[in-house]
């Protein structure tokens, strides 16, 4: 049993929602089937877990390769449909895996800021835009707030914005940059 089925059967999703007093708006905008990309801001290492309890649909994540070096953690991450990406290197293997999963109709979660450490964030990376252009997968921008102080109880707000339709095309630097700017504006809008 993977972690998503466990979360569903155990009722842990509801418990997490109550403990962290999470509020979600626009979750109906997450496509119920077919390929799509969730693009979210990144405040905390807990963001993938928060996003994971927002929808009953399984999300596949790109996660930094360093997390997969400790076998027990790697097993948990793989159970959560995560796969490794070498950040900052244009990891072609991770891109191919992401494209494969999107073409298989999966839901992909991406945090374009690349890290939850505010002091290390240096703009939004273009990987999600490249994937959307390569596959034509629609992109649902997601704004997460209140996750930074986790794991202590707080109030979490999750807002799923209107999906952005993407025409498949060549993922040039110019096209990916323009699309990334669109994602960032949609996520950070008040």
Residue 16 has pLDDT above 90, yes or no: no
Q: What is the pLDDT of residues 143-183, one digit of tens each?
A: 998 887 666 667 888 999 999 999 999 989 999 999 999 99
Q: What percent of the chain has pLDDT over 70?
A: 87
More confident residue, 4 or 121: 4
Q: What percent of the chain has pLDDT over 90?
A: 39
DSSP the chain: --HHHHHHHHTHHHHHHHHTT-EEE-GGGS-SSS-EEEEE----TTHHHHHHHH-SS-EEEEEEGGGGGSHHHHHHHHHTTEEEE-TTTT-HHHHHHHHHHHHTT-EEEE-TT--S-GGG--S--SHHHHHHHHH---EEEEEEES-TTTTS----EEEEPPPB--------HHHHHHHHHHHHHHHH--
- Predicted confidence at residue 44, as pLDDT, reads 80
Domain limits, the chain: 23-37+52-188
Statement: residue 187 has pLDDT above 90: yes
């Amino acid at each position: 049993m993977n972690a998503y089925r466990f979360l569903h059967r155990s009722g842990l999703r509801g418990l997490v929602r109550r403990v962290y007093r999470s509020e979600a708006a626009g979750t109906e905008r997450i496509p119920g089937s077919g390929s799509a990309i969730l693009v979210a801001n990144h405040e905390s290492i807990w963001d993938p877990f928060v996003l994971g309890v927002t929808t009953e649909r399984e999300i596949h994540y790109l996660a930094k390769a360093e997390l997969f070096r400790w076998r027990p953690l790697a097993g948990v991450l793989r159970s959560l449909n995560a796969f490794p990406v070498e950040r900052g290197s244009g990891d072609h293997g991770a891109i191919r895996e992401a494209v494969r999963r999107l073409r298989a109709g999966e839901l992909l979660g991406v945090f374009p800021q690349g890290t939850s450490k505010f002091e290390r964030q240096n703009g939004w990376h273009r990987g999600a835009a490249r994937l959307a252009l390569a596959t034509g997968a629609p992109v649902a921008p997601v704004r997460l707030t209140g996750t930074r102080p986790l794991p202590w109880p707080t109030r979490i707000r999750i807002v799923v914005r209107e999906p952005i339709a993407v025409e498949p095309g060549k993922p040039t630097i110019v096209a990916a940059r323009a699309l990334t700017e669109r994602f960032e504006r949609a996520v950070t809008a008040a």
